[in-house]
Amino acid sequence: MDLKELIAASSLNLTDIQVSQADKYLNQILKWNKTRNLVSRNLRKNDLAEHFLDCAVLQKHLMPGSVIDLGTGSGFPGICLGIIDPNRELTLVDSNRKKTSFLIHIKNELGLNSVSIKNLRVEEIEQINETNIVCRAFKEPDALLKSLENKITKKNKIILMVSEKEPLSAQGFDIAYKESEASKILGKKRGFLEIQMS
């Protein structure tokens, strides 16, 4: 399925402008990917459309308030959330300068005024003040929790995108697995680990 078909099959209620922004975003990834290593070279536009859907349905799992996307890469899920929820404050963090250059370009191209981009390593962040922490294929869940230990409080909610239910238990954390809406649409295992301090 292409992007429009995937969005139509989901519960996402996007305007024509948002669908057009999403389409432009995917086209820009493909264009920039020819000279910069943003995503795998084998990915076609329909593959990217699946990634977009996968990330966009994450919005329903967020608490009200700001979001930080750790290791955002080419903007999955941060840019996707910025497109579908333009008034929510989003901070996208990545240590790769080529990727953050692309993110600044796409933020400006799409007019995503609530998005800010930071070129730094997660280890350099002293305290995370954003309510929601999202992450996709950045670190193994247990390694990520370890790296966040002294940076978060009970007010934070961590949402990790995973392909299937992973056995994860970490002392001091409540962890729940939720199946993603994208699972049924894509016919692939997709889900989220929702994590908060106990």
Which residues lie across from 91 on neighbouring strands?
Answer: 68, 116
Residue 170's pLDDT is 81
Q: Which stretches of the chain score pLDDT less than 50?
A: none
Write b or e for each residue in 53-83: b if 16 or more Cβ atoms lie within 10 A of its Cβ, otherwise e: bbbbbbbebbeeebbbbbbbbbbbbbbbbbb
Structural domains in the chain (count): 1
Give me the CATH number covering residue 89. 3.40.50.150
Closest-CA residue to 94 (of 78, 112, 114): 78
Residue 88's pLDDT is 97
Give the model confidence (pLDDT) of 153-183 as tens digits.
999 999 999 988 777 778 889 999 999 999 9
Q: What is the three-class DSSP state of 128?
A: coil
Q: How far are the Cα atoms of 26, 57, 143, 148, 160 from residue 2, in angstroms, in the given order?
A: 11, 16, 35, 36, 25
Residue 189's pLDDT is 94
Residue 139's pLDDT is 81
Which residue is listed with tokens 């929601």?
A: 132
Structural contact between residues 118 and 146, judged by C-beta atoms closer than 8 angstroms: no
d(CA 41, CA 82): 25
What is the domain range of residue 88? 3-197
Q: How far are the Cα atoms of 42, 69, 121, 132 from residue 182, in angstroms, in the given order?
A: 21, 19, 30, 20
